[in-house]
């Protein structure tokens, strides 16, 4: 065992460490941008210069500070630098600064709150300009202590974000306790998102859950156009990563918008529910985040029929809502108004702000109907590019949900519940509008279906169609393939982007899968014979093989734009006829320079 250093030696080492940190450490800011417009909403602060004082990475720096019991001092040093950089930015820059809080300092949330409030006063910043990022790194999760710390920080007016969501063991508990303004999905889930069905399912579920709880979702570590497109399809609100730009120590080099970068990625189709949403938006009294309790009393008195009061900040971002039922006890108490005016009691509107579900007007509502219904009592806030657009009450939400269900039912095939001709046409139109990526479109029909249906009847015929639909739905679920039902025994398949690479193999295997399951529909004699006897379209009696399928596909390479959708459909029709003539179950061609294979 070594000899412990004298106190004066350790004190000198501590002083030198803190002095070096103050003099040599720097902060770099990285933009967090709207996933569609590229407008900058915030900047996150990262430490730089750690290698100059002998540390290989930031974690080693923070661990060393913790071992010297100076983690709080290091944290406040970096917070000061980050806030100073924020204050030095042009007024046109983003209003939010994301600051990472080491989990080991969470027990000192009161002191951190007081420190940041002082820095806000010194630098002429507002509490609403600050977002505190929390994670479970370096700490064993204590729900009660965590909730208390979050309450202290939020009580000052700071926004709250949960960082690296999905990588720890207590993420859902943290989400429940914090009800964060932002949820950051770790890069592990973002990389290979376009090619990994499991990750897509997880990310989509996280996004739906976050939106239902009133949180906006940030995809971290976005490095490629492919990842950006996948994040948009998953309805992430914001993105951050090297694709946008790297963290910069020079804050003057940061732009207010990175729309040119995001314009390189294809835009998902607009939400067909948007018009219905806009027609149902209600005009309600809205609170600002500097509303006082006394102001709130007046607003509620002037709007006696309103039960939910959305709150937005000076930048138009929703901050939650105040529910009339929560403040009613204070309003009608004997000394309620006096308490509201008494600053010494330190009771504010923030103490009554609750999370509320949000809905981006360009996000399809259909998949989220069931999730939102569980919290429909408070209604939802509708946003456009994250900015407050309006409010939907529970009643309006139900009207919208019913309208969407009616639309969906009208657009779907009644037997298979697959999208119908309108959706197929929309996909073909999108193929023309997005030449920057590979696209595949395919027709599929069931061979020998009419004589089979004539012999076995409509009920068994419908079972055959449902079997094919089930096979195709598995492709949609596992491989991001769009599936449509044109009618009868005719189907449509399509895909875009990286998923096209595996499409040929997937389509080629459909026929064998269908033949295998469809055999069970025949009686034993027909199955053993391998055919049925029936009447052909020309009226003649002949033998028909057991059910099979024919697929004709066209591939549009990256950079090729067809003259019209007719070019695609005519080519698929010709390929299907050729496949039938030559006895092939699958035939494809590439548009542009045609290559049969």
How far is CA 196 from its chain centroid? Answer: 16
Residue 3 has pLDDT above 50, yes or no: no
In the 8-state DSSP scheme, what is residue 502? G
For residue 593, the model assigns a pLDDT of 53
Question: 423-430, long-range: CB within 8 Å, 24+ apart, which pairs?
Answer: 423/482, 423/484, 424/484, 424/486, 424/492, 424/494, 425/565, 426/269, 427/482, 427/484, 427/492, 427/494, 428/494, 428/565, 428/568, 428/569, 429/565, 430/269, 430/496
Cα–Cα–Cα angle for 563, 566, 571, rounded to 5 degrees: 100
Pinpoint the alpha helices (H) of 234-368: 259-262, 274-280, 293-302, 324-331, 336-341
Query: pLDDT confidence of 122, banded at 50, 70, 90?
Result: very high
SS3 (DSSP) at 290 = coil
Q: Picking from 2-6, 141-145, 475-479, 577-581, which range would have the lowest pLDDT averaged per residue?
A: 2-6
Q: Which residue has the higher pLDDT, 490 or 356?
A: 490
The contacts of residue 459 (CB under 8 Å, 6+ apart) are none
Query: pLDDT confidence of 281, banded at 50, 70, 90?
Result: confident
**Section 540-561 average pLDDT:** 93
Q: Give the integer Cα–Cα distance in Å for 514 and 470.
A: 10
Q: Which homologous superfamily is 274-409 in?
A: CBS-domain (3.10.580.10)
For 413-590, which CATH class? alpha beta
- Domain positions in the chain are 24-262, 274-409, 413-590
Q: How many CB atoms lie within 10 A of CB 567?
A: 14
Task: Quote the radius of gyration of the chain (alpha carbons, Å).
Answer: 30
Token pair belonging to 345: 């009691």
Q: Give the integer Cα–Cα distance in Å for 215 and 162.
A: 10
For residue 504, the model assigns a pLDDT of 85
Token pair belonging to 548: 């099979």
Query: Which residues of 111-171 form beta strands (DSSP E)?
Result: 130-134, 159-165
For residue 594, the model assigns a pLDDT of 47
Residue 462 has pLDDT above 90, yes or no: yes
Residue 273 has pLDDT above 70, yes or no: no
Highest mean pLDDT among 131-140, 170-179, 439-448: 439-448
In the 8-state DSSP scheme, what is residue 257? B
Token pair belonging to 477: 């679920």
For residue 543, CA distances in Å to 203, 516, 530, 540, 589 come to 51, 20, 10, 10, 31
**Tens digits of per-residue pLDDT, 381-428?**
988 878 899 998 888 877 777 777 777 777 889 999 999 998 999 899
Q: How many CB atoms lie within 10 A of CB 286?
A: 17
What is the share, in percent, of the chain residues with pLDDT greater than 90?
48
Token pair belonging to 436: 């920057």
For residue 143, CA distances in Å to 100, 111, 272 come to 19, 20, 41
**Residue reference for tokens 């299907």:** 576
Cα–Cα–Cα angle for 116, 121, 123, rounded to 5 degrees: 90
What average pLDDT does the structure give for the chain?
A: 86
Task: Let me know: does 40 contact 258? Beta carbons within 8 Å.
Answer: yes
Query: Which residues of 152-213 form beta strands (DSSP E)?
Result: 159-165, 182-185
For residue 371, the model assigns a pLDDT of 58
Query: pLDDT confidence of 597, banded at 50, 70, 90?
Result: very low
Task: Let me know: does 218 contact 40? Beta carbons within 8 Å.
Answer: no
**Residue reference for tokens 């949000």:** 358
Residue 275 has pLDDT above 80, yes or no: no
Q: Can you name the CATH fold of 24-262? A: TIM Barrel (3.20.20)
Helix (H) or strand (E) holding 241: none
**Section 120-126 average pLDDT:** 94
For the chain, report the end-to-end CA distance as a whole number of angstroms. Answer: 74
Highest mean pLDDT among 96-100, 209-213, 401-405, 505-509: 96-100
CA 445, 446, 450, 456 torsion: positive or negative?
negative
For residue 384, the model assigns a pLDDT of 83
Q: Picking from 68-82, 91-105, 533-547, 582-596, which range would have the lowest pLDDT averaged per residue?
A: 582-596
Task: Let me know: does 220 contact 31? Beta carbons within 8 Å.
Answer: no
For residue 408, the model assigns a pLDDT of 72
Residue 30 has pLDDT above 80, yes or no: yes
Q: Give the integer Cα–Cα distance in Å for 133 and 141.
A: 15
Token pair belonging to 379: 């209604």
Same CATH topology for 274-409 and 413-590?
A: no
Residue 542 falls in which region: left (phi positive, over 0), alpha (psi -120 to 50) or beta: beta
Longest dimension (CA), the chain: 107
Q: Which residue has the higher pLDDT, 110 or 375?
A: 110
**Tens digits of per-residue pLDDT, 342-369?**
655 555 677 788 888 888 876 666 656 5
The contacts of residue 573 (CB under 8 Å, 6+ apart) are 443, 552
- Count Cβ neighbours within 10 Å for each residue of 530-550 and write b for 16 or more, e otherwise: eebebeeeeeeeeebebbebb
**Section 48-61 average pLDDT:** 92
Task: Let me know: does 408 contact 402? Beta carbons within 8 Å.
Answer: no
pTM above 0.85, yes or no: no
Residue 282 has pLDDT above 80, yes or no: yes
Q: Give the integer Cα–Cα distance in Å for 596 and 575.
A: 10
Residue 522 has pLDDT above 90, yes or no: yes
Query: pLDDT confidence of 311, banded at 50, 70, 90?
Result: very high
- Helix, strand, coil shares of the chain, percent, nearest 5, are 50, 20, 30
Q: How many helices (H) and strands (E) are present in the chain, helices listed first?
A: 22, 22
For residue 596, the model assigns a pLDDT of 44
Rounded (10°) CA dihedral 165, 29, 146, 63 = 100
For residue 9, the model assigns a pLDDT of 44
**Tens digits of per-residue pLDDT, 152-194?**
898 888 999 999 887 765 678 888 888 899 999 999 999 888 7
Task: Let me know: does 300 contact 324? Beta carbons within 8 Å.
Answer: yes
In sequence order, what DSSP letters do the residues of 358-400 get, joined into one string?
EEETTS-SGGGHHHHHTTGGG-EEEEETTEEEEEE-HHHHHHH
Token pair belonging to 226: 């492919």
Residue 488 has pLDDT above 70, yes or no: yes
For residue 411, the model assigns a pLDDT of 80
């Amino acid at each position: 065992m070594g000899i412990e250093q004298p106190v004066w030696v350790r004190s000198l080492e501590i002083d030198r460490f803190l002095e070096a940190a103050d003099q040599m450490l720097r902060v770099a800011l990285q933009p967090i941008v709207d996933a569609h417009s590229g407008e900058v909403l915030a900047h996150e602060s990262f430490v730089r210069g750690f290698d100059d004082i002998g540390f290989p990475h930031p974690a080693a720096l923070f661990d060393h500070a913790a071992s010297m019991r100076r983690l709080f001092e290091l944290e406040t040093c970096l917070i000061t630098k980050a806030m100073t950089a924020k204050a030095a930015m042009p007024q046109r820059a983003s209003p939010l600064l994301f600051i990472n809080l080491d989990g080991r300092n969470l027990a000192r949330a009161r002191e951190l709150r007081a420190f940041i409030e002082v820095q806000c006063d010194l630098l002429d910043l507002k509490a609403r300009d600050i977002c505190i990022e929390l994670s479970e790194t370096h700490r064993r999760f204590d729900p009660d202590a965590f909730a208390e710390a979050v309450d202290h920080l939020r009580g000052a007016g700071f926004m709250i974000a949960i960082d690296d969501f999905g990588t720890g063991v207590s993420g859902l508990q943290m989400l429940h306790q914090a009800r964060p303004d932002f949820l950051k999905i770790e890069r592990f889930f973002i990389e290979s998102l376009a090619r990994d069905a499991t990750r897509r399912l997880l990310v989509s579920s996280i996004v739906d859950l976050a939106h239902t709880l009133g949180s906006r979702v940030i995809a971290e570590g976005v490095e490629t156009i492919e990842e950006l497109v996948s994040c948009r399809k998953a309805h992430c609100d914001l993105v951050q990563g090297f694709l946008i730009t790297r963290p910069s120590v020079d804050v003057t080099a940061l732009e207010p918008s990175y729309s040119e970068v995001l314009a390189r990625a294809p835009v998902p189709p607009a939400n067909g529910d948007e018009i219905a949403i806009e027609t149902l938006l209600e005009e309600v009294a809205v609170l600002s985040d500097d509303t006082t309790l006394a102001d709130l009393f007046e607003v509620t008195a002037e709007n006696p029929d309103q039960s939910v009061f959305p709150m937005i900040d000076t930048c138009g971002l929703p901050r939650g809502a105040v529910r009339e039922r929560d403040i009613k006890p204070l309003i009608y108490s004997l000394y309620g108004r006096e308490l509201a005016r008494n600053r010494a009691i330190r009771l504010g509107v923030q103490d009554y702000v609750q999370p509320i579900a949000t809905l981006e007007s360009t996000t399809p509502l259909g998949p989220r109907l069931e999730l939102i219904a569980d919290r429909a009592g408070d209604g939802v806030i509708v946003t456009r590019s994250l900015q407050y657009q309006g409010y939907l009450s529970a009643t309006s939400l139900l009207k919208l949900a019913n309208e969407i269900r009616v639309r969906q039912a009208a657009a779907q095939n009644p037997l298979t519940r697959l999208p119908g001709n309108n959706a197929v046409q929309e996909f073909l139109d999108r193929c023309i509008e997005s030449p920057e990526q590979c696209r595949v479109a395919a027709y599929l029909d069931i061979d020998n279906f009419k004589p089979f249906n004539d012999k076995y009847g409509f009920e068994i015929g419908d079972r055959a169609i449902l079997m094919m639909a089930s096979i195709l739905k598995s492709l949609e679920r596992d491989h991001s393939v769009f599936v449509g039902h044109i009618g009868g025994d005719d189907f449509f398949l399509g895909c875009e982007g990286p998923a096209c690479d595996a499409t040929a193999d997937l389509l080629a295997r459909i026929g064998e899968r269908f033949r295998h399951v469809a055999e069970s529909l025949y009686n034993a004699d027909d199955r053993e014979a391998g055919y049925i006897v029936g009447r052909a379209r020309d009226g003649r009696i002949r033998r028909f093989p057991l059910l099979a399928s024919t697929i004709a596909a066209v591939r549009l390479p990256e950079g090729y734009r067809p003259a019209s959708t007719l070019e695609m459909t005519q080519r698929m029709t010709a390929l299907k006829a050729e496949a039938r003539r030559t006895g092939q179950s699958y035939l494809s061609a590439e548009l542009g320079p045609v290559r049969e294979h």
